[in-house]
Amino acid sequence: MRPAQAQPGASDAAQARVRDVWGQFRSRFMAPEGRIIDTGNRNISHSEGQGYGMLLAVNAGDRQSFDSLWAWTRRSLRRPRDHLTAWRWRPNAQHPVEDLNNASDGDLMIAWALLRAASTWNVPEYQEQGVAIGRDILRLLVRNAGGLTVLLPGARGFERRESVTINPSYYCFPAIRALAAAVPDPAWVRLAADGLQILRAARFGRWNLPPDWLTLARSDRRLSLPENWAPRFSYDAVRVPLFLGWAGLGQEPAVQSAAGFWADPAHNHLPAWTDFSNNGVSPYNASPGIAAIAGFSASVSGRGLRVPAAAQAPADPMPDYYSGVLTALVSLARRDSGADFW
């Protein structure tokens, strides 16, 4: 797996783009107190957004913003009995944190950002904090199911006697690699290897795509689509090809199939999702953030694919929080993987 960090050969233009994109994202979605605002979801904040913000800030060299983001996260989302973070904070609520359950993708991102900050700015405290989160991820979120090592989406609510529920987009392979180096344990290797095995088997619909949510049977490892989520490749699963390509795994089936889906000439637009129950696609265009992932997937797939030209230069690359963060993450992934921009 290719190291998920800026290499000495990373171009000045790519790093300048990272700084520019972070500046745009910060000005739109970061509050003065260090809270990332999800403008498309009633202005809530969540651990995912804080982790993404911290990762973007440290990669852009913005120490002041990073410290502000981490201080707000610790103050507002810290759980009382471990080093993980509550998944959601609601503004103007009597109790902004109503649910202390965590979200594994947020904790992975926060830990990765802390480890990167420790190295970038030589701050041992950041290293200690990132390691502490990594240990609790192993302790509370990594489980054995059917002989496979899996990542639970959260510490509570995803394990049943017969099965576990998995979110494939929570497998951020570059973050797992960084944590494996900082918190040595063979469980990380098993988690990554078995995660790839699951993704290679989790292929649904006409385009053989990974789903947003997945059920893994303990008895026979059978993969199926859970009934309480829409059977789609959509706003969660679009991150699967991003994280694989970022880790240098552009030849994985999930990247190849996603690139082929978005470049399929049968579409007269760039779809945001497909429904596996009928192979229908969204009647509207994908957001600029998803379009950025489509272009990145095409670049790292090695198939010479191109997404529709209209997706390559959106008028506004950050119309809302989620589109903005995907656009910003793609700028990091392109820099780290050496993938060409448009």
Active site residues: 48, 105
**What are the angstrom distances between the C-alpha of 74 and each of 110, 117, 154, 161?**
11, 16, 18, 34
**Residue 74 backbone phi and psi in degrees, to 5:** -65, -40
Long-range contacts formed by 124-130: CB under 8 A, 24+ apart:
127/182, 129/83, 130/179, 130/182
Distance CA(2)–CA(18), nearest Å, equals 19
Q: Are 34 and 72 in contact (CB under 8 A)?
A: yes
- Token pair in block for residue 175: 């973050």
Q: Are 27 and 321 in contact (CB under 8 A)?
A: no
Q: Is 23 left (phi over 0), alpha (psi -120 to 50) or beta?
A: alpha
Q: Where are the beta strands (DSSP E) in the chain?
A: 45-46, 88-89, 142-145, 148-151, 163-166, 214-217, 223-224, 232-233, 274-275, 280-281
